[in-house]
Amino acid sequence: MPEHPFTSVESIVERFEAEGYVADEALATVVYLLVNLKRPLLIEGNAGVGKTEVAYVLAKTLGAELIRLQCYEGLDVHSAIYEWNYQRQLLAIKLQENLDLSLEDKESHIFSEAFLLKRPLLQAITAENGPPVLLIDEIDRADEAFEAYLLELLSAYQISIPEIGTIKARFTPHVILTSNRTRDLSDALKRRCLFHWIDYPDEEKERRIVQKRLPDVEPELARQVVRYMQALRRLKLTKAPGVAETLDWTASLMALGKVELDPSVVEQTIGVVLKSKVDLGKLKETGMADLLQQD
């Protein structure tokens, strides 16, 4: 029996849509290759376009555990892979004081897997209930040294721990890495991955996303919000709003009982979308109401 329910690229589109994620054929294809070839998938794109959500939806459709590693500057092996439970080791050493054990026996005991604190990467390698989905989120925020730590994992799905040895994965995890392209990733890392770029959706697709995620939205409100967001992105703002902001804005308007956009509504709620004084100033210069008139 196959270890996943995807019988075709089309089945991925259908299952993702059932979970509220509108996937195009290109994305569905690389996800299909991810689960069949057991290759990691690197997804790049601007913030808020749904990169991280791919991993969450994949885990749901597979019925798999989702393990997330959020990357940041200064991320090291101890935070990402493992560290020793020093307090428990000290307690074990104390209990061993009156036991007739050799130093080698004592060390082998306290440096065993029972004393490991497993962080996300090691959790993914040692999963016992089938392959998990491992999300390595915003890998571009980590430095190149950390990328080197990933190479062994992504090449052989194993982790070396000096005191224990090499731990190999029983189940190959489904690995998704995301990047906002704040820096270029190493060629060595990219060679190990499939690749997909998620761009801002066109108007029709974005409207479908809004209606799929917010099924109670008034169709006219969805149309107006999406059209306004499309116009905002053409302004070349310092931080163009993504689909996440579209959904947040629509949900906010629904909560306020709004059924359509007008200049006063935009002015009152635009802070849900734009979070920069510079961008707000540029919108005011352009004219908030003017964007409502664009077709």
262 phi-psi bin (left φ>0, alpha ψ -120 to 50, beta other): beta
Q: Tell which residue, 254, 269, 249, 245, has the closest CA to residue 215.
A: 254
CATH class of 9-81+119-198: alpha beta
In Å, what is the CA distance from 174 to each residue of 19, 97, 157, 293? 18, 44, 11, 45
Using DSSP, state whether 135 is helix, strand or coil.
strand
**CA-based angle 72:74:77, to the nearest 5?**
100
- pLDDT tens, 69-127? 999 999 988 889 888 888 887 887 787 777 666 667 666 677 777 888 899 999 999 99
Task: Please report the pLDDT score of residue 205 as a whole number.
Answer: 96
Enter the tokens of residue 254.
Answer: 């629904």
pLDDT, one tens digit per residue, over 201-235 is 999 999 999 999 999 999 999 999 999 999 999 99
Q: How confident is the model at residue 106, as a pLDDT? A: 63
Tell me, what's the pLDDT at 160? 84
**Is residue 1's pLDDT more than 70?**
no
**pLDDT at position 2:** 47
Domain ranges of the chain: 9-81+119-198, 203-292
Q: CA–CA separation, 68 vs 77, rounded Å?
A: 15
Q: Name the residue type at position 170.
A: R
Phi, psi angles (nearest 5°) of residue 158: -150, 160
CA distance 209 to 57: 14
| pLDDT (tens digit per residue) in 114-130 | 888 899 999 999 999 99
Under the banding of pLDDT at 50, 70 and 90, the label for residue 266 is: very high
Confidence of residue 150 (pLDDT cuts 50, 70, 90): confident
By percentage, how much of the chain surpasses pLDDT 90?
A: 68
Write out pLDDT tens, residues 155-168. 889 888 888 888 89
With beta carbons less than 8 A apart as the criterion, state whether 214 and 206 touch: no
Lowest-pLDDT range of 25-39, 156-170, 210-224, 249-263: 156-170
DSSP assignment letter at 270: G
Distance between alpha carbon 19 and the CA centroid of its chain, in Å? 16
Tell me which DSSP letter residue 80 carries. Answer: H
DSSP 8-state assignment for residue 181: -
* Segment 176-205 mean pLDDT: 94
- Give the long-range contacts of residues 208-216, CB within 8 A, separation 24 or more: 208/22, 209/22, 209/243, 209/246, 209/247, 210/246, 210/247, 210/250, 212/17, 212/20, 212/21, 212/22, 213/20, 213/247, 214/247, 214/250, 214/251, 214/254, 216/254
Most confident of 155-159, 165-169, 180-184, 252-256: 252-256
Region 147-162 average pLDDT: 85
